[in-house]
């Protein structure tokens, strides 16, 4: 069932668990994540970066794949499709294409400009029943060309953005996209606690889910994080499983070159990783 992400995340805050946003790249990714959500009876958010949307052929293609799978594979758990780190223009493009949720990443603007643009987009999204995430403080590292310095959010600015009516908020707390460096200082829980103090029960979003230790994930959830984004980890396990298949020469045996066989180990690896994360986040059985 295709839904906006608002209700599922409000329920997650109340129930002290988090819903995973797993980024998609193609049919295999989308099918694997939806099948796992259904098997785990868990709500799920499919993240689509601007780069992934372009790669898949456009936002209409993304929605065509997701809507088709929901219908033909009988996916009854709540599913949202969410533009990840969207620019101002792409938020509008996705809303037109039927995305039930978008993120406006205004972290590169001054707080005044971030507020102005977020305010306008909140009104446009809500007029169509679409949920909207905003960002304060930048997520470090790089994802599909979006580069952030990793500044921690200012809790007072979080309150200003929260008051605009956003449905959930990404606050930088030392999190980074991609793998964490050896000398990473960890999540800044004092910042997260101050943000939660200012924003109350607004669902908070933790980006850069790959490689955050389990105990930090649980502590973040206890401080109001209700949505956790995971991208790189699914890419890593897919690549590893595919490499093993080819290195074992399986593509050269019989019809092992058939793409349905060649991509199968990677798909199974994504399913196992998504299930592991849903169990860790506590969203299993919460559909």
Nearer to ligand 13P by Cβ, of 50 and 154: the residue is 50
Confirm or reject binding of residue 47 to ligand 13P (CB under 6 A): yes
CA distances from 259 to 66, 251, 263 (A): 21, 9, 6
> What number of chain residues touch ligand 13P (CB under 6 A)?
16
Contact 170, 138 (CB under 8 A): no
Select from 143, 192, 199, 271 the one that contacts ligand 13P (CB under 6 A): 143
Establish if 178 lies at the interface with ligand 13P (CB under 6 A).
yes
Stretch that binds ligand 13P, among 31-39, 52-60, 190-198, 230-238 (CB under 6 A): 230-238
HEC secondary structure over 38-65:
HHHCCCEEEEEEHHHHHHHCCHHHHHHH
Q: Please select the residue that binds ligand 13P; options are 4, 231, 242, 283, rule is CB under 6 A.
A: 231
Q: What part of residues 85-104 is at the interface with ligand 13P (CB under 6 A)?
A: 85
Residue by residue, DSSP assigns 74-124 as T--S-EEEEEEEE-HHHHHHHHHHT-SEEEE--TTS-HHHHHHHHHHHHHH
Rounded alpha-carbon distances, angstroms, from residue 91 to 50, 78, 105, 107, 266 = 10, 22, 10, 15, 31
84 given a catalytic annotation: yes
Binds ligand 13P by CB under 6 A, chosen from 209, 265, 266, 282:
209
Residue 229 in the binding site for ligand 13P (CB under 6 A)? yes
Choose, by CB under 6 A, the member of 60, 120, 232, 246 that binds ligand 13P. Answer: 232
Give dist(CA 106, CA 87) in Å, integer.
7
Nearer to ligand 13P, 202 or 212 (CB): 212
Name the site residues for ligand 13P (rule: CB under 6 A).
Answer: 23, 47, 84-85, 143, 177-178, 207-210, 229-233
Catalytic (active-site) positions: 84
């Amino acid at each position: 069932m295709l839904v906006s992400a608002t209700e599922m995340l409000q329920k997650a805050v109340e129930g002290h668990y988090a819903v995973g946003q797993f980024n998609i790249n193609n049919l295999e990714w989308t099918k694997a994540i939806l099948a796992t959500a259904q098997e785990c009876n868990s709500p799920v958010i499919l993240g689509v970066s601007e780069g992934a949307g372009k790669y898949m052929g456009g936002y209409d293609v993304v929605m065509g794949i997701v809507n088709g799978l929901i219908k033909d594979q009988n996916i009854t758990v709540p599913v949202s499709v969410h533009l990840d780190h969207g620019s101002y223009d792409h938020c509008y493009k996705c809303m037109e294409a039927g995305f039930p949720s978008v993120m406006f990443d205004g972290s590169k603007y001054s707080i005044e400009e971030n507020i102005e643009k977020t305010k306008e987009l909140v009104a446009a999204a809500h007029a169509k029943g679409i949920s909207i995430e905003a960002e304060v403080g930048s997520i470090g590292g790089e994802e599909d060309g979006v580069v952030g310095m990793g500044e921690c959010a200012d809790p007072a600015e979080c309150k200003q953005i929260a008051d605009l009516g956003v449905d959930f908020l990404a606050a930088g707390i030392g999190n980074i996209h991609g793998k964490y460096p050896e000398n990473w200082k960890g999540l800044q829980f004092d910042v997260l606690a101050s943000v939660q103090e200012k924003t109350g029960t607004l669902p908070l979003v933790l980006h850069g889910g790959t490689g955050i230790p389990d105990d930090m994930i649980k502590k973040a959830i206890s401080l109001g994080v209700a949505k956790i984004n995971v991208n790189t980890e699914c890419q890593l396990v897919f690549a590893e499983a595919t490499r093993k298949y080819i290195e074992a020469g399986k593509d050269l045996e019989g019809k092992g070159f058939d793409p349905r066989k060649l991509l199968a180990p990677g798909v199974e690896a994504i399913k196992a990783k998504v299930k592991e994360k849903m169990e860790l986040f506590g969203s299993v059985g919460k559909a």
